[in-house]
Amino acid sequence: MGKALIIGAGGVASVAIHKCVQNSEVFEEICIASRTKSKCDELKDQLDGSKTKITTAQVDANNVDELIALINEVKPDIVMNLALPYQDLTIMDACLATKTHYMDTANYEPEDTAKFEYKWQWEYRERFEKAGITALLGSGFDPGVTGVFSAYALKHYFDEIEYIDILDCNGGDHGYPFATNFNPEINIREVSANGRYWENGEWIETEPMEIKRVYNFAEVGEKDMYLLYHEELESLAQNIPGLKRIRFFMTFGQSYLTHLKALENVGMTSIEPIEFEGKQIIPLQFLKAVLPDPASLGPRTVGKTNIGCIFRGKKDGKEKTYYVYNVCDHQECYIEVGSQAVSYTTGVPAMIGAAMILTGKWDKAGVYNIEEFDPDPFMEELNKWGLPWVEDFNPVLVDDESVKTKELELVR
Amino acid sequence: MGKALIIGAGGVASVAIHKCVQNSEVFEEICIASRTKSKCDELKDQLDGSKTKITTAQVDANNVDELIALINEVKPDIVMNLALPYQDLTIMDACLATKTHYMDTANYEPEDTAKFEYKWQWEYRERFEKAGITALLGSGFDPGVTGVFSAYALKHYFDEIEYIDILDCNGGDHGYPFATNFNPEINIREVSANGRYWENGEWIETEPMEIKRVYNFAEVGEKDMYLLYHEELESLAQNIPGLKRIRFFMTFGQSYLTHLKALENVGMTSIEPIEFEGKQIIPLQFLKAVLPDPASLGPRTVGKTNIGCIFRGKKDGKEKTYYVYNVCDHQECYIEVGSQAVSYTTGVPAMIGAAMILTGKWDKAGVYNIEEFDPDPFMEELNKWGLPWVEDFNPVLVDDESVKTKELELVR
């Protein structure tokens, strides 16, 4: 049916590529491109014999001209940006120049500000509309599926959604006292940044890790979770009419936080170089070298993730609550595609988002966040491609007394 | 009255040298020697104008011939070994060859085994006796003053000492979330080694940090303390007749232990080199470079140390207990000699031990631990030179129910 140019060859790209190949009716041809072509070739070799035709290419995603030349050569129907979010804008520029659809899984951030905001990408709205092409922003799990869940809840179950809590739980255990799934710098930034949530039209800041709850997740059990800022809060606050509050919670284990804090305290997470044996060394870079390679965690991680949204609002004048979530097993993911659930839950929705555009199920010109499309076909595909969802119409709420009391008990 | 050759120019040596100069009637002349002569010259410059004549020299303390040549040139009455304990034997060899008295503050350990034992030095007994010279082993605080306290208790208050608990409390606060007073490698080894104590003629091993008590120290307050092995246990178990048990406890704060454990867990305390940017780097060495320089802690450390011994035994057929301890203030030490209490409490007894020999108050040929000499003149000097001691004949015991219960409460 179509051809995709996939930029990136890391964990998420690897999952998405495995899934594209499983869905070869839609993805007749893919080209895998990244800065390091050998990584693309490795992925191609793993999928040798697939129905989908696979080619590879070298590209510097920071260079618009190189990107345009590659797109002109490959002639894809869509560019799937699965590289770092620093390259979103250059790839969007190349898509505009070549009138090619675009999608990504994380919004643009300038490399030096560490500020997640949609404004840079939203500025492309008019240009994409005029060019007659689609840019689908944030088609991972969170952002991504969480937006689809929100659109689905609104379409089928609510006249008005007043409260959304997004709950992201990773109950995985890699057996190391301490290791990080992704770049430790990003993990550290998440934990040490101020929290933020949206209420009554305003952003409310919290201290880092200030708001904590102990929540009992289906198929995982009780976990400590903390209120963080996460990028989908920005678009959902705008796209869900009548919303009074939206928050995001992520689980972190006490041991993980203790290790991170200790490393921060002694200066091992600093990005200021120090002089060591006549060389300038950045402590965080050295720490990364000492920690287990994130890629080595996959085969040894057991347990499950549970990510979903709890909605509260009104239907036919009555109060209503609705919780929809996906549970994903680290080991099952690893057996299927060679990556654990953290990459899997992002890579599968990336494939589905691109499929929505290639199949014409999502077909409108402009720049859109995922909740602005019809959620139904996407929800169907989630069940089909390994991320089945569960509905609960009587969930325990984050602010229920039982949840708050539990937290107080543990603190005492 | 005499001339001392001081080997070493670190924190403890600096305190001892300041004290020798204060006691210029005994120390008419000193020569400061170390691998780095500039450090010796610095100390000499600090003490410019003192009555004691000061010279400096360069020496490699691993090299017996160099040591002999230096001793023959300087012609000291005693060699004060205030360098690392790895050089005890080479310096003792040089003392034998030149018939010069010897003293140190810590017993020999081979650099590769990390095993503290007196056996290597005790093998010199006969040779020192025949040469008519004295070797005084372990004249710091612990070992050192703790042995003098033991000899003093036995001489004046007991017919028989059955139980000794040595309590080493550092209530100092340097204001950093984490830093180490000495070489972090030694700190880490202390905490991660098995504990060990002597009871009924046998050594009993414990897990690292297995035995914990919460003790209320005079002038410091309540602190967590843990049973460790410490070198004076070996000699005191032999030299105190009738002893049933001897233990050693040291205080560590929870935050210190948490940081140390976290650093150990991630591999930052490892001494196995890792490949980093084309270079072999030992993680522990890099960690040292990131941590505050131990020398920088002196001016900012506030609070007090409290080190002493609790004795239980019999006098005239009756049960008796006796606690003798010294309290030392970090800031007062720093103002007096430019070092905080941890170096001060070791450096002062080093000077006093050497003075005992120079003045002839301690005068017997052979190799001796400090408790084998008459404690009275040493106890007098402690009061005179900045380490006054306090006696308590009704102390709270380590095994009192109140102490044990407190610990359980905190754990729960």
Mean pLDDT of B160-174: 96
Residue range of the domain that includes B227: 145-336
- Asked whether the bond before A143 is cis by omega within 30 degrees of 0, the reply is yes
Amino acid at B158: F
Token readout for B14 is 């600096």
Q: Sorting pLDDT into bands at 50, 70 and 90, what band is B305?
A: very high
CATH number (domain holding residue A109): 3.40.50.720
Amino acid at B342: V
Minimal Cβ distance to B289: which of A265, A274, A289: A274
Q: B292 and B185 in one domain?
A: yes
Minimal Cβ distance to A265: which of B177, B265, B281: B177
Q: A88 and A149 in one domain?
A: no
Q: Sorting pLDDT into bands at 50, 70 and 90, what band is B404?
A: confident
Quote the minimal CA–CA distance from B345 to chain A in Å. 27
In a domain, B180, yes or no: yes
Which residue from B66, B63, B75, B10 is spatially nearest to B36, judged by alpha carbons? Answer: B10
Amino acid at A315: K
- Given B115, B137, B159, the domain boundary residue is B137
Minimal Cβ distance to A259: which of B262, B277, B289: B262
Contact state of B266 with A259 under an 8 Å Cβ cutoff? yes
Q: B115 and B14 in one domain?
A: yes
- Which residue's entry shows tokens 């944030």? A138
Minimal-distance CA residue of chain A relative to B179 = A266
Contacts of B121 (CB under 8 A, 6+ apart): B88, B89, B92, B107, B108, B135, B137, B367
Q: How many whole angstroms separate alpha carbon A348 and alpha carbon A362?
A: 17
Q: What is the pLDDT of residues B230-259, one digit of tens each?
A: 999 999 999 999 999 999 999 998 888 899
Contact state of A291 with B265 under an 8 Å Cβ cutoff? no
Q: How many whole angstroms separate alpha carbon A350 and alpha carbon A145?
A: 10
Which percentage of chain B shows pLDDT scores above 90?
A: 80
Residue B164 CA, distance from chain mean position: 18
Rg (CA), chain A: 21
Identify the pLDDT of residue B261.
87
- Asked whether the bond before B377 is cis by omega within 30 degrees of 0, the reply is no
Q: A304 and A182 in one domain?
A: yes
In a domain, A379, yes or no: no
CATH number (domain holding residue A173): 3.30.360.10
Q: B290 and B321 in one domain?
A: yes
Q: How many whole angstroms separate alpha carbon B111 and alpha carbon B387?
A: 32
In a domain, B392, yes or no: no
Q: B259 and B115 in one domain?
A: no
Q: How many whole angstroms separate alpha carbon A209 and alpha carbon A228?
A: 7
Q: Is the C-alpha dihedral spanning A236, A240, A242, A248 positive or negative?
A: negative
Q: What is the pLDDT of residues B116-141, one digit of tens each?
A: 688 899 999 999 999 999 999 999 99
Contact state of A258 with B258 under an 8 Å Cβ cutoff? yes
Quote the minimal CA–CA distance from A142 to chain B in Å. 29
DSSP letters for B210-248: --EEEEEETTTEEEEEEEE--THHHHHHHHSTT--EEEE
pLDDT at residue B295 above 80?
no
Contact state of B279 with A283 under an 8 Å Cβ cutoff? no
Answer yes or no: are the C-beta atoms of B198 and B237 closer than 8 Å.
Answer: yes
Minimal-distance CA residue of chain A relative to B274 = A290
Q: A226 and A104 in one domain?
A: no
Q: Could you tell me which residue, B188 or A140, shows the higher pLDDT?
A: A140
Give me chain B's average pLDDT, please: 93
Answer yes or no: are the C-beta atoms of A308 and A325 closer than 8 Å.
Answer: yes
Identify the pLDDT of residue B412.
46
Token readout for B57 is 């020299």
- Given B137, B171, B186, the domain boundary residue is B137
A291 neighbourhood in chain B, CB within 8 Å: 266-267
In a domain, B386, yes or no: no
Residues of chain A with pLDDT under 50: 412
Minimal-distance CA residue of chain A relative to B259 = A262
In a domain, B362, yes or no: no
A258 neighbourhood in chain B, CB within 8 Å: 258, 262
Contact state of B177 with A289 under an 8 Å Cβ cutoff? no
Degrees to nearest 5, angle at CA A217 with A212 and A220: 115
Token readout for A254 is 């006490």
Q: How many whole angstroms separate alpha carbon A52 and alpha carbon A25?
A: 8
- Given B320, B336, B352, the domain boundary residue is B336
In a domain, A226, yes or no: yes
- Which residue's entry shows tokens 């680290």? A330
DSSP letters for A277-324: TTEEE-HHHHHHHHSPPGGGTGGG-BSEEEEEEEEEEEETTEEEEEEE
Identify the DSSP state of B278.
T
Q: B321 and B295 in one domain?
A: yes
Q: A69: exposed, middle or buried (C-beta count within 10 Å: 0-12, 13-18, 19+)?
A: middle
Contact state of A274 with B262 under an 8 Å Cβ cutoff? no
Q: How many whole angstroms separate alpha carbon B211 and alpha carbon B189?
A: 17
Q: What is the pLDDT of residues B27-54, one digit of tens each?
A: 999 999 999 999 999 999 999 999 999 9
Identify the pLDDT of residue A270.
86
pLDDT at residue B294 above 70?
yes
Statement: the pTM of the whole predicted model exceeds 0.80: no
Q: How many whole angstroms separate alpha carbon B326 and alpha carbon B389?
A: 5
Q: How many CB pairs under 8 A join A and B?
A: 68
Number of domains in chain B: 2
Quote the minimal CA–CA distance from B210 to chain A in Å. 20
DSSP letters for A176-236: SSS--SS-HHHHHHHHHSPEEEEETTEEEEE-TT-SEEEEEETTTEEEEEEEE--THHHHH
Contact state of B286 with A265 under an 8 Å Cβ cutoff? no
Q: A329 and A201 in one domain?
A: yes
Identify the pLDDT of residue B270.
86
Q: What is the pLDDT of residues A293-338, one digit of tens each?
A: 877 888 999 999 999 999 999 999 999 999 999 999 999 999 999 9
Identify the pLDDT of residue B268.
92
Minimal-distance CA residue of chain B relative to A282 = B290
Q: What is the pLDDT of residues B369-384, one digit of tens each?
A: 999 999 999 999 999 9
A412 neighbourhood in chain B, CB within 8 Å: none
Interface test with A, best of B256, B279, B286 (most A CBs within 10 A): B286
Q: A383: exposed, middle or buried (C-beta count within 10 Å: 0-12, 13-18, 19+)?
A: exposed
Q: B295 and B249 in one domain?
A: yes
pLDDT at residue B299 above 80?
yes
In a domain, A357, yes or no: no
Mean pLDDT of B283-307: 90
Interface test with B, best of A286, A293, A412 (most B CBs within 10 A): A286
Minimal Cβ distance to A290: which of B259, B266, B277: B266
Minimal Cβ distance to B291: which of A178, A259, A266: A266
Q: A219 and A177 in one domain?
A: yes
Q: A216 and A125 in one domain?
A: no
CA separation, residue A343 to residues A34, A121, A227, A371 (Å): 18, 24, 22, 21
Q: Sorting pLDDT into bands at 50, 70 and 90, what band is B266?
A: very high
Strand, coil or helix: B263: helix
Identify the pLDDT of residue A410.
56
Strands B101-104 and B78-81: parallel
Contact state of B177 with A267 under an 8 Å Cβ cutoff? no
Token readout for B115 is 């095993």
Which long-range contacts link A399-405 to residues 24+ away (Cβ below 8 Å)? A403/A213, A403/A214, A403/A215, A404/A213
Q: Sorting pLDDT into bands at 50, 70 and 90, what band is B402?
A: confident
In a domain, A159, yes or no: yes
Strand ranges inside B86-159, DSSP E: 101-104, 134-137
